[in-house]
Amino acid sequence: MYTGLKHLHSFLAYVLLAALIFSIVYVAVKFVKKGSFTEKVRKVALIGFISAHLQLLIGLVLYVISPVGLSNLSSEAMGSTMARLYALEHPLTMLIGIILITVGYIKAKKPGDDARRFRTIIIFYGIGLFLILLRIPWQVWPV
């Protein structure tokens, strides 16, 4: 079960990155063209939102059952770069990134100026994507 979840988590990371990049680019194009914030724009942002939360759910399960996750959280693990990455840095940074994506989506859903709604998604999704890219364990990530 652990290996299957680990592969699913790695595969969904590609889906999440593609969904976030697509959402940001789509919203940015609408913003530049001074389009209106339609239901279609909201649904495109929802794709990134759902992808992030699905990845978070799988990641939380892995964090609990993984030998390098929660069970490895100790002062000894903090001395090892890889152990610290898996036990603390990766989960915490991903959680902050997904919280930012969530806040951006919720704020953009509120009625108001279309330009403000577009900027909200671009900024919050962009920072969330940056944090996610920052703490992906690239050295062991399958290609």
How much is the average pLDDT of 49-75? 88
Question: 96-123, pLDDT tens digit by residue?
Answer: 999 999 999 999 999 999 999 999 999 9
How much is the average pLDDT of 62-68? 87
And the tokens for 120? 């909200």
Helix axes 2-32, 39-65, angle to 10 degrees: 160
How much is the average pLDDT of 120-143? 89
Q: Looking at residue 60, what is its pLDDT? A: 94
Domain range for 111: 2-140
For residue 75, the one-letter residue type is S
Q: Is the pLDDT of residue 143 over 60?
A: no
Higher-confidence position of 86 and 15: 15
Helix axes 114-134, 90-109, angle to 10 degrees: 170
Q: Is the pLDDT of residue 86 over 90?
A: no
DSSP secondary structure string for all residues of 91-129: HHHHHHHHHHHHHHHHHHHSSS-HHHHHHHHHHHHHHHH
Task: Please state the domain count of the chain.
Answer: 1
Most confident of 10-19, 62-71, 75-84: 10-19
